[in-house]
Structure 1
Amino acid sequence: MEQNEIDELLKGIDLNEKPDAKLEPADDENIGWDDVQEELTQYQVKPQKVEVSPANFEEMPATPVFDSQLNLDFILDIPLTLSVELGRCQMLISELLQLGQGSIIELVKLAGEPMDVYVNQRLIARGEVVVVNEKFGIRLTDIVSQAERVKKLK
């Protein structure tokens, strides 16, 4: 801001005008607790009366009514990750760093043993490897029971 802009703003202000008495500092030594309470009562807002009525809720049926087709349609488009585990092993970082092209990793599972099928990292079935149109596939041989799946969640 330039000086001429500041001068223009100050033309409308009378610097000799005395401020309101309310703005002058009060004598703190003469203020008592009664004065404070009196000042507070002046600014208190009176509570307004509000009408309150009870809420009306509809009675819920004892047994929930479900449309099974509607519920099934709701979840059909949820994406899941299905994976088949050939086997596992544990190794040290030093062993991992020594791996190269042609290295062989020995897995814990035996040849011909069923493979584990996971959905979102949860075991749901076991099966055997098959070849379909020159691609690997899996034929499910055993589905994990619901009781087993719930037990593993705990």
Structure 2
Amino acid sequence: MNIDELLNRYFEGETSSEEERELRAFFTSGNVPDRLAVYTPMFAYLEEEGRKERQPDEALIPIDEDILSMLDAEKVEEKKAFTLRSVLYLVSGIAASFLLLLGLNHLLNPVDPCFCSDNYVVINGRCYTDIHKVRSMALEALQEVATPADEYVDDLRSLFDDNE
């Protein structure tokens, strides 16, 4: 397969692992044409990273058991501190959410029904904002205290009769 076709397939994500190894080997061989030299640093980097993954760490130094136990103790303390901090953040988040919900509940369902209205009437300790309800209640109250017309006329007649 042609190197140009292989490069196109590589950039389209259609190459196999073996074909990618061939590309890395070609670009790290040193026999790269000038027109393809711009890809050499990229494939050299990929080859180097692949080598690092395949090789185990050779620079490991044997560590004394006392030092190792001290490192383990430090890790345990660090993990406890991290866990305590996580719990603290979790509890703080729950408390903040609870306060936010209470505030929203108070805004959406106020204790005073007249809280959201500029026009209201208080009758017998209750707040009314519906104009039709207020009108009907006012008419009922007026009818309760009104004197019937026949009683009023009788009272007037008695007044006129007394004057004559």
TM class by shorter chain equals: under 0.3
Structure 2 length normalisation: TM-score?
Answer: 0.20
Bigger Cα Rg: 2
Ranked by relative contact order (alpha carbons within 8 Å, sequence separation 6 or more), the top structure is: 1
